[in-house]
Amino acid sequence: MKLAVFDCDGTLIDSQINIIRAMESSFQRHGLAPPDSHATRRIVGLSLVEAMQALLPQADHALHLSLADDYKSAFQRLRADKALDAEPLYPGIRSLLDALDAQGWLLAVATGKSDRGLKLALEHHGIHSLFVSLQTADRHPSKPHPSMLRAALADAGARADQAVMIGDTVFDIAMGQAAGVRSIGVDWGYHDAHELIDAGAAHVAETSDHLLALLNG
């Protein structure tokens, strides 16, 4: 048995435009200067409240909660305006998933997105049915806590040594480390390759074809 657990934003789907827009809206609603786009990309992968804490470490918890709620509302408005069209799959991802599925891999997602947001994104791209386990921030602590990975392993009936965590941020790699799961980074997302290696990634894939070769190596 082989289980591949993917992060979503920055790994499967390039959703940075809508993430940045929603973050700007949530901060502006509170009369705050929005973080620059680089700072926003750096926190992708964390659950929303933890992301707000990272962006505004001196603010109180009530503000972090309110910013997170406003971000959700802004993101939902963007999606109502057909903004999912601005969230493409990264090049080669659909072919990669189909190839792994055909080879007998079980596929899962572990993401800081909500259940609703993940379902909408995966269904938009016609890949929802490929995954045997979908773990989100609605039911787990934020990455790098290993809870999401442990749940994915349980859903798939797989051991940690039969699984691989695939992600673009140090939060993904650290989650894999915490769960005792081998981790592979991808360099098309939001954190640099050297950061992923330093966090414990066994390899960093440069393309989807490279990732497929690493998974089958």
| CATH code for the domain in which residue 108 is found | 3.40.50.1000
Given 41, 56, 84, the domain boundary residue is 84
Q: How many angstroms separate the CA atoms of 127 and 88, rounded? A: 12
Q: How many angstroms separate the CA atoms of 44 and 186, rounded? A: 14
134 beta partners: 109
Residue pLDDT, tens place only, 72-114: 999 888 876 665 677 899 999 999 999 999 999 999 999 999 9
Given 84, 105, 123, the domain boundary residue is 84
The first and second tokens of residue 82, run together, are: 């057909």
The first and second tokens of residue 141, run together, are: 């602590």
Given 84, 114, 130, the domain boundary residue is 84
63 and 124, same domain (yes or no): no
Q: What separation in angstroms does the CA of 165 have from each of 59, 62, 113?
A: 33, 33, 17
Overall pTM surpassing 0.85 (yes/no):
yes
CATH code for position 45: 1.10.150
Residue pLDDT, tens place only, 17-57: 889 999 999 999 999 999 999 999 999 988 999 999 999 99
